[in-house]
Structure 1
Amino acid sequence: MITIYHNPRCSKSREGLQLLELQGQPFTTVKYLNEPLTKQELTSIIAKLGIAPIDLVRQKETIWIKDYKGKQLTDDQVIDALLAHPNLIERPIVINGDKAVIARPAEKIKEIL
């Protein structure tokens, strides 16, 4: 099953959702700002993406700049920051089985279909 972690207020996230709809494959939408991720879920997503936690951070967001920028954070501390402030999570994230992408641009979704 394909899952998209989606923020309806984000144009890139809406583009990813639209691409999935056009593909005609069944998928699940998780509005992660309304349905907070657990630490286990977020850790699993990061592992599927094959990236370091810091690479999932929207580092230009005000909260990141104000509270975290320039600090030496462990991976666990970065994950905790993402859980505390889910708007810091890059979006959209699309998962298909054990494969995942940050769908920026939306066409990256096709890599895992």
Structure 2
Amino acid sequence: MITIYHNTRCKKSREGLEIVKESGKDYQIREYLKVPLTEEELSVLIEKMNISPIQLVRKNEKLWKENYKEKDLSDKELISVMVKHPKLIERPVVENDRKAVIGRPASDIKEVL
């Protein structure tokens, strides 16, 4: 099963959803702003992406710039910040059973389809 972590207000996220739909594969949508991820879920996603937590942070968000940019946060602290403020998570994220990707560019989504 494919899961897309989706923000309906984001153009890139909507583009990613279209790619997932066009694949013809079974998928589910998780609107992560309405149904936030737990620290464990986010940790698993990051592990599946084979990235560090800072690579998943939307660094241009005002919230990040004003509250966290200048802080030296550990990976665990970064995950906690993203769980507390899910709008700081890059989007869309698409995952399958073994792998996950950030859909930027949207063509990267094809790696998990």
SS at 2:82 equivalent: helix
For 2:42 and 2:32, the matched residues in 1 are separated by 10
For 2:62 and 2:112, the matched residues in 1 are separated by 32
SS at 2:19 equivalent: helix
Q: Percent identity?
A: 52
1:82 equivalent to 2:82? Answer yes
- Superposed, 1:19-38 pairs within 5 Å as 19-38=19-38
User: Runs (4+) of structure 1 moved beyond 3 Å?
Assistant: none
Q: Cα RMSD (Å) of the superposition?
A: 0.7
Q: Which residue identity lines up with residue 80 of structure 2 in the other structure? A: D
- Superposed, 1:21-100 pairs within 5 Å as 21-100=21-100
**What's the offset of the Cα at 1:23?**
1.1
- Number of aligned positions between the proteins: 113
For 1:36 and 1:72, the matched residues in 2 are separated by 24
SS at 1:111 equivalent: helix
Q: Which runs of 5+ in 2 are unaligned?
A: none
For 1:105 and 1:63, the matched residues in 2 are separated by 23
**TM-score normalised to structure 2 length:** 0.97
**What's the offset of the Cα at 1:47?**
0.5
Q: Could you tell me which residue of structure 2 aligns to residue 103 of structure 1? A: 103
**TM-score normalised to structure 1 length:** 0.97
For 1:22 and 1:47, the matched residues in 2 are separated by 27
